[in-house]
Amino acid sequence: MSELKRAGISLEKELLEQFDRLIKKKGYQNRSEAIRDLIRAELAKEGWESEEEAVGVLTVVYDHHLPDLTRKLTAFQHDFEHLVVSTLHVHLDHHNCLEAVVLRGKGKELQEFADKMISIKGVKHGQLLGTKALK
Ligand code: NI
């Protein structure tokens, strides 16, 4: 861990009480660690839609009975093989499949990939969770 610096913050009593309840529920041992995580989350968001290197996981749910959909989704991923690190496929039930696609590349490209894959006809739901390597 790099050198620690102290930073004092002032906030309303009620806001602090709400924060303490929230972090207790989430399992934090102290405010410092909770605040560090909040800051890291904001820093990870910054530049997500930029040229910066990022990693993300896209999950999509679709009905594999739809004609040609499975083939389309596979072909789509092959078109972007430079972004796709790995894909996990789960047969959820008789109709539905879930795919989790691990992505690595420029944040902007990952967002575009996710938007396009989610908008393929037959994909019921999709969500991209992005992050970056932070110190
Ligand atoms: Ni399946």
DSSP state letters, the chain: -PPP--------HHHHHHHHHHHHHHT-SSHHHHHHHHHHHHHHHTTTTSSSEEEEEEEEEEETTSTTHHHHHHHHHHHTTTTEEEEEEEE-SSSEEEEEEEEEEEHHHHHHHHHHHHTSTTEEEEEEEEE----
Compute, in angstroms, the gap from residue 94 CA to the centroid of ligand 1: 8
Compute, in angstroms, the gap from residue 99 CA to the centroid of ligand 1: 8
Dist CA 6 CA 120 (whole Å): 49
> Which residues line ion ligand 1, judged by CB < 5 Å?
91, 97
Q: How far is CA 79 from CA 18, 43, 76, in A?
A: 47, 30, 5
pLDDT tens profile 121-133: 999 999 999 887 6
Compute, in angstroms, the gap from residue 100 CA to the centroid of ligand 1: 12
Compute, in angstroms, the gap from residue 95 CA to the centroid of ligand 1: 8
Compute, in angstroms, the gap from residue 82 CA to the centroid of ligand 1: 24
Compute, in angstroms, the gap from residue 60 CA to the centroid of ligand 1: 11
Compute, in angstroms, the gap from residue 89 CA to the centroid of ligand 1: 6
Q: How confident is the model at residue 1 (pLDDT cuts 50, 70, 90)?
A: low
pLDDT tens profile 49-107: 677 888 999 999 999 999 899 999 999 999 999 999 999 999 999 999 999 999 999 98
Give the per-residue pLDDT at 49: 66
